[in-house]
A and B are shown apart, each in its own frame.
Chain A
């Protein structure tokens, strides 16, 4: 739960393009594993639609600023690098803000102050510092798209939990039976914390169950299969 991503482990073979791309979606998912950019994760996930829109906007900024930082990585002086990254991010955020206002004014209104606040999303700065500043443009671009997609996945998962419980619908389509009494609290501020808490609880439970099963399997003498989530903990 801190705002800097782990650097690549030295001595490992060069990751392939697929690895660069997939890393952000699952293994180092910004929401579930790195827990970065928590503010939008809780503030605008009351519906899946908002969550996806926010995820896509963040993806664009992450991709654009990753490519830019990577392009100028040899020219940016070390002493002022953080301020330079922030300036590059802020420029892309401004572009996205104006673009969103023109293309989808309703959504722009719903997301409100959280679009300019993408600047302060520590996921972006974390990726520039940990990845884009030391890698090629191609790899940084892939990493940016992967992280953006991972963030979108995280947001929409929390959004799914909150919208189904809070309004009985998913992406605006009613999914719960007519007799379902919506949990009003899920649409209100406490629901943001609770929804994300429930998602993390479910993930921890799943990880725990997988670990227990592996233990039973190895006790029985069968080879243990590792799931993707177990790899995350390693």
Chain B
């Protein structure tokens, strides 16, 4: 139990996928203009992460035993199909969200956080349950980072930013401050 809690907190806070490991930055800067959309993208990401983790475990255990060099290719194909399924589900149940996420929904495929999760899980030799915990933690961390960034940028709309820094530059500098704040979690856990 303690081991799982460690994996969960480590993925969500200490080694936050976006702010500490630099994964999934396209959507981190692209979809963080409104808090509501950011939270929903975070949840969609988490959903894909969990399914990817399960598929990666299955692939590693039964399919890729003899051919580890096909791992990246196999993972990306599975991820692409999973994103396609998520897209269809969202389109059916929430057309509004589907429109809001726009191009960033199919682009979850090229969100490196997803592929990275599958690779890290393999490298660390996580089993089924550990992988599940890891993916939920990573998803929670992504959602947290997206939400924080979106709230900061909503506030920033009202701030008086110098003309040259407006847009990408100020977003990056804010992200840097946010990342610095997450460094504070570094001493939170020690490996049991």
Measured CB to CB, the closest approach of chain B to A77, in angstroms, equals 15
In Å, the complex CA distance between A192 and B23 comes to 12
Contact of B76 with A86 in the complex, beta carbons under 8 Å: yes
In Å, the complex CA distance between A122 and B115 comes to 13
B84-128 Cβ-contact flags toward A at 8 Å (1 or 0):
000000000000000000010011011110111001100100000
B interface majority secondary structure: helix
**Partner of B110 from A87, A121, A191 at Cβ < 8 Å:** A121
B80 at the interface (CB under 8 A from A): yes
Stretch of B35-43, B58-66, B136-144, B165-173 with 4 or more beta carbons under 8 angstroms from chain A: B165-173
Q: Which residues of B contact A125 (CB under 8 A)?
A: 110
**Which chain A residues in 48-100 approach chain B with CB under 8 Å?**
82-83, 86-87, 90-91, 93-94, 97-98
In Å, the complex CA distance between A130 and B107 comes to 15
Contact of B72 with A189 in the complex, beta carbons under 8 Å: no
Q: Which residues of B contact A189 (CB under 8 A)?
A: 19-22, 179, 182-183
A interface residue count range (under 10 / 10 to 19 / 20 to 34 / 35 or more): 35 or more
Q: What is the chain B residue whose CB lies nearest that of A185? A: B180
Stretch of A37-45, A142-150, A175-183, A221-229 with 4 or more beta carbons under 8 angstroms from chain B: A37-45
User: Would A82 and B112 be within 8 Å (CB), given that A122-B26, A208-B164 are in contact?
Assistant: no
19 extra interface residue pairs, beta carbon distance < 8 Å, beyond A116-B72, A120-B112, A197-B173 = A1-B168, A3-B30, A39-B23, A86-B77, A87-B73, A94-B72, A116-B115, A117-B115, A119-B76, A120-B110, A122-B26, A122-B107, A188-B183, A189-B22, A189-B179, A191-B176, A193-B176, A197-B170, A204-B165
